[in-house]
C-alpha cells in the first residue's frame, strides 16, 4: 500500500513538474514573436526606400531608390540626417552649375559639385580618400548612391 501511495505521489509530482516546464517553454517562445512583429512594422514604414550595399574596389557603397521625391528633398535629407560625414559642409541648396568649394577642415579638402540635367554628382575629397554622392532622377524616383573610396 505504501508503495502504491509513493508511486502515485511521484507520478503527480512528475506531471506537475512537466506541466511547469511546458509553461516556461511557452513563455520563451512567445517573446521572439513580439520582436519579429516589431521588425515587420519597422520595415513597413520604410517602403519608400529600397537600399542595397555595394562592394567596390578599395571601398564600399550603398545605393537606394527613393520613391515619390525630388533631388532637392533627397539632398536636404542627406544634410539633415547626416548620411555622410561632414555633410554640414555641403552648400545649403544644390547649385545650378558645376562648383568647387574649398573646405580644409577635419581632413576634408574640398567638395566638388557636377550638375547635369537630372543628375547631381558630389565628390568629397579627403586627405585619405574620396566620398562620392550621386543623386539621379529616374521618372518619379531618385537613385541615391554613396561610395567611400580609400587612397
Model confidence pLDDT, tens digit, residues 90-147: 999 999 999 999 999 989 999 999 999 999 999 999 998 999 999 999 988 999 999 9
Torsion-angle region of 56 (φ positive above 0: left; ψ -120 to 50: alpha; else: beta): beta
Express the helix, strand and coil content of the chain in percent, nearest 5 each: 40, 40, 20
pTM: 0.66
Which SS3 state, helix, strand or coil, does residue 42 take? helix
Task: State the average pLDDT for the chain.
Answer: 80
b (16+ CB within 10 A) / e for 60-81: ebeebebeebebeebbeebbee
- The pLDDT of 67-86, averaged and rounded, is 94
Which SS3 state, helix, strand or coil, does residue 86 take? coil
Report the C-alpha dihedral over residues 110, 116, 120, 126, rounded to 10 degrees. Answer: -20
Using CA atoms, how far residue 39 sits from 32, 73, 139, in Å, is 11, 27, 31
Which residues, including other chains, have CB under 8 Å from residue 22's CB and lie 6 or more apart? none
- Of residues 19 and 129, which shows the higher confidence score? 129
- The pLDDT of 71-89, averaged and rounded, is 94
All three cell numbers of 125, joined, read 575629397
Amino acid at each position: 500500500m505504501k508503495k502504491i501511495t509513493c508511486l502515485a505521489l511521484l507520478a503527480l509530482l512528475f506531471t506537475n513538474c512537466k506541466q511547469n516546464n511546458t509553461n516556461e517553454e511557452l513563455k520563451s517562445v512567445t517573446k521572439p514573436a513580439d520582436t519579429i512583429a516589431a521588425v515587420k512594422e519597422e520595415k513597413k514604414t520604410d517602403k519608400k526606400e529600397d537600399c542595397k550595399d555595394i562592394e567596390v574596389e578599395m571601398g564600399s557603397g550603398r545605393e537606394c531608390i527613393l520613391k515619390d521625391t525630388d533631388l532637392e528633398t533627397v539632398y536636404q535629407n542627406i544634410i539633415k540626417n547626416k548620411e555622410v560625414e561632414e555633410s554640414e559642409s555641403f552648400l545649403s541648396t544644390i547649385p545650378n552649375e558645376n562648383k568647387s568649394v574649398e573646405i580644409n577642415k577635419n581632413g576634408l579638402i574640398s567638395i566638388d559639385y557636377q550638375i547635369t540635367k537630372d543628375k547631381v554628382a558630389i565628390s568629397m575629397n579627403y586627405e585619405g580618400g574620396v566620398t562620392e554622392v550621386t543623386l539621379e532622377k529616374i521618372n518619379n524616383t531618385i537613385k541615391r548612391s554613396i561610395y567611400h573610396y580609400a587612397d
